[in-house]
A and B are shown apart, each in its own frame.
Chain A
Amino acid sequence: DIQMTQSPSSLSAYVGDRVTITCRAGQSINTSLNWYQQKSGKAPKLLIYIASTLQKGVPSRFSGSGSGTDFTLTISGLQPEDFATYSCQQSHSSPWTFGQGTKVEVK
């Protein structure tokens, strides 16, 4: 199984801050990396797929980059509605695996 490791596990930030979350794969997954946002008590929502492609309807302040084993999710100008948990997921090979999540909290 491909292990996905996110860092940090949580962070505190102000509205307007630039936030970066990292996801590392246990082996190369090319660009088969996807990002989800999950708010408390809700289902995850797809933000970015194939490492850097923004899902339709997702604000442009969200961006993704990386390939191989190292990936980042960046939120440029954190908004109040962005406080949530973010998870990465590899779609390179079965079993599909997720990172443990990064909780973004209000500072």
Chain B
Amino acid sequence: QMQLVQSGAEVKKPGASVKVSCKASGYTLRHHYMHWVRQAPGQGLEWMGIFNPSGGSPVYSQKFQGRVTMTGDTSTSTVYMELSSLRSDDTAVYYCARDSSGGWFDLWGQGTLVTVSS
């Protein structure tokens, strides 16, 4: 069955970077764009950016421009999201979510909790 499996929880200090992975199975990674969405504790969903596994430049939310990098490896069917210069308000669950090809997210990873604390 189709699924996205993300890497495990991380604890980081302010100023550090974190890299979250998302491995796709059950479908061909390069056939669908991948989004990253985060959710701070008790808050709503926040879109971070979109990555095209077939190539081309990612598109990032202006809020994260300069701090986020999305990459992928089609040989391992894995996409990555790296967020740098972490602050306490980056503490959140980070999700990868597959684009259906229509702009809605039809398959989600299980989420990765990133905690930023000194």
Contact = CB atoms under 8 A, between A and B. Distances in A.
Contacts of B47: 95-98
A44 B50 contact: no
A96 B99 CA distance: 11
Contacts of A98: 44-47
B51 interface: no
Contacts of B80: none
Contacts of A94: 50, 59
Main secondary structure of the interface of B (DSSP, over half): strand
Given A95-B61, A96-B35, A89 B45 contact: yes
Interface stretch (A13-21, A45-53, A66-74, A76-84): A45-53
Contacts of A91: 102-104
Contacts, number: 58
B75 interface: no
B62 interface: yes
A28 interface: no
A48 to B, nearest CB: 9
B105 interface: yes
A34 to B, nearest CB: 4
Interface of A: 32, 34, 36, 42-46, 49-50, 55, 87, 89, 91-92, 94-101
